[in-house]
Structure 1
Amino acid sequence: MSKPGAAVLLVDDDSLVRETCVALLRDLGCTVYSTWSGEEALGLIQRHASIETLISDLLIPGIDGLQLVAAARQIRPSLRCFLTSGYATGITDPDVQFVPKPLGRAKLAMMVMRAPAAPVPTED
C-alpha cells in the first residue's frame, strides 16, 4: 500500500491537467515527478528508484500509455500503474487500473493510498 510521501510519476500532455494533478498530489503529501511524454517518463523511472506509482494519460505523445506501462514494467516490475483518459472507456490489461477523467483529489488519493487491486471510484 502506498502512503503519503510516496513518489508518484504523473504523465499528461495537457499542462493544465498535469499542473493541477501535481498540486493535488503534493497536497496529499506525495513526492511528484511529472512529464508530458512517455519517453521522458521512462527516463525518470530509470533515474529515480523511489518512484512506486505511475499515473499516465492513455493518449500521450510518442509512445502511448499502454506502451509506457509495458516499458516501465520492464524497468521496474513492481511499479503500480494507473491509466487515465477522458475519452477511452476502459483498459482490458488486468495489471493496469483504468481511472476515467476528470481526476480530482479523491481519485488521486485512492490511487496513491490503496493497493493496486482495490478499485478507484469513477466519480470524484
Structure 2
Amino acid sequence: MPVLRQVVGETLRGLRMRQRRTLREVSASARVSLGYLSEVERGQKEPSSELLAAICGALDIELSELFQQVSATLRREEKLAYAGRVAAIPGSGAARISTAPMGDSGPQVRAHVAA
C-alpha cells in the first residue's frame, strides 16, 4: 500500500522537474526552506495544507491539480496491489509453471492451476 506523503512528494518532484526548476528556485518562490522541501519531495515529511498551497503556488499549479495527480497514482498502485493479492488467493485462477526433472526427451514443463 503506498504511503500518501511519498506519493505527494514524488508528484511534486515530477512537476518541478518537468518545469526544469531547481529545488532552490521553488523553495525561494514558495518561501519554504530548501531542506524541508527536499524532505517533502523524498516523502520524509508530511506537508501541511498551507505548505502544499505555497509549493503549488510556486509551481504555478492548482492544489486540486496536485491532488488529482496524487489520486490517480494512488488508484493505480492500489489496483496493482489488489490484483497481486487476488492472484495469490487459492482458487483465484492463478497459475504457476514449474519444470520437472529432465527425462530422456529433455525438460518437461508442468502447469499447476490453483483450485
The TM-score bracket by the shorter chain reads under 0.3
The structure with higher relative contact order (CA 8 Å, sep 6+) is 1
TM normalised by structure 1 equals 0.25
Q: Max radius of gyration: which structure?
A: 2
Q: Which has the higher strand share?
A: 1
TM normalised by structure 2 equals 0.27
Q: Which has the higher helix share?
A: 2
